[in-house]
Structure 1
Amino acid sequence: MKKKADLSGLAENMPLVAHLTELRSRLLRIVLVWMLIFAGLFYFANDLYAFISEPLRVFLPEGTSMIATDVASPFLTPFKLALISALFLAMPFVLHQLWSFIAPGLYKHEKRIAIPLLASSIVLFYAGMAFAYFVVFPLVFGFFTSTAPAGVAVMTDINKYLDFVLTLFLAFGFAFEIPVATVLLVLAGVVDVAKLRHIRPYVLVGCFVTGMVLTPPDVISQTLLALPMWLLYEVGILFSLLIKPVKKPADADTRATEQE
């Protein structure tokens, strides 16, 4: 009887072990692809940093340049940039692996909705980074360098600059996910479109507060983050008009039927 009970307990634990094994396998694939992309980027790390720093360097006064205040910064800063850039480039594969892991537990209608949302979230994240690089950086760095006091040479440390721009990349990348988040809230039945319209003034204030927290303490970068967030919230409302909240099947038999 004891042996039979042990075998029964082992059978019950097998699905969890199988899930953990699959999760480990997918995480290893993610790390492998990340490292492969990093290996290809590392050779061009200095060129990559030159591209990232271009929005600031064009505004530096003649005769000045960026500097490295730490001994290892000339090597470690491009290394860090290549590593993080590789992760950004690998993000579609990362999300695909995560999707493949959770997809078997979803309903068919949930899968049909999740796939376009997943694809749009990737596109919007990259769009946010592009907006930061091509629109925000020139305005912000032009403002910063033009306000330097007389007799002060603008010579930015390369590592501090990298931390600064990565923060803005992430801030704008996640801010551009607002339409996806809005649609998900409506699909889940957490809110409806009428409620989204009702809280619009509070959202606008929240956008400016978020811009104040996530960006440097200047009005330009705060506004350039807050206004797109508010506009993207309005876009999310428009798309939410086209969908209806998902009603989940009530029992396990229906779930099994939908997942087949």
Structure 2
Amino acid sequence: MDLATLIGMIGAFGVVLAAIFIGGDITQFIDVPSMLIVIGGGLAATLVRFPLAGLMGAFATGGGVAFKHKKVEPRDVIEKVSELADVVRKSGPLGLEGVTVDDPILAKGVQYIADGYEPSFIKDSMERERDLFIERLKEGKRVFKALGDAAPAFGMIGTLVGLVQMLANMDDPAAIGPSMAVALLTTLYGALVSNVICIPICDKLDAKLDTEDLNQTLIIDGIMQIRENKSPALIREMLIAYLPESQRAAFQEAA
């Protein structure tokens, strides 16, 4: 669970709700027509941009990565790859069958080595897996960005709808209030959906794209070095290049 995403969203909505409770009645800020315009209209406009199957998959992938994905440090990956290389050096590829690996990509590479697949097959298969995963993240990012763009736009559309209804019923004072509520609350809902949910998730996916690309490329290189039976020390030295310059000296000392 990515606590930063959850804490940020709860905190943002909590601040808004606290301000509403301090200033008045929360029921004044609940309006079903406004929700329909912003949420329904935003989803419909996003659906126009993407195919239905791709849209559902992008929501699942994007939401899963934003809320559930566990960050993996490159240093931990290097240490694990070095341990696996040491197992292969001592017990051969079959020794990997008794090793527990948490990362699914690394586990797949370990299984390939234990099964004795050719290096070219291992590299092609793992690179294809990485590229497809990165593409799914990019699609999720595009979907949340599209929804983040659509929500404020439909908030403005709802504002215009409410103003038209208000002006059309100026002779009926009882209709002015509900129409004005639609006009103002759609703008509020659109801003909240865009700035608290969609745009932050889009930015988080953008950051995780780079991290996942780096980690999975590191894993692929490590697996290929293990398959070629390189020494653990040599593999560690080669993979340290993936670390930022500021972390390399500390990592080498710890190793």
Q: Same fold (TM over 0.5)?
A: no
User: Rg: which structure is higher?
Assistant: 2
Greater helix percent: which structure? Answer: 2
TM-score, normalised to structure 2's length?
0.29
TM-score, normalised to structure 1's length?
0.28
Instruction: Identify the structure with bigger relative contact order (alpha carbons < 8 Å, sequence gap 6+).
Output: 2
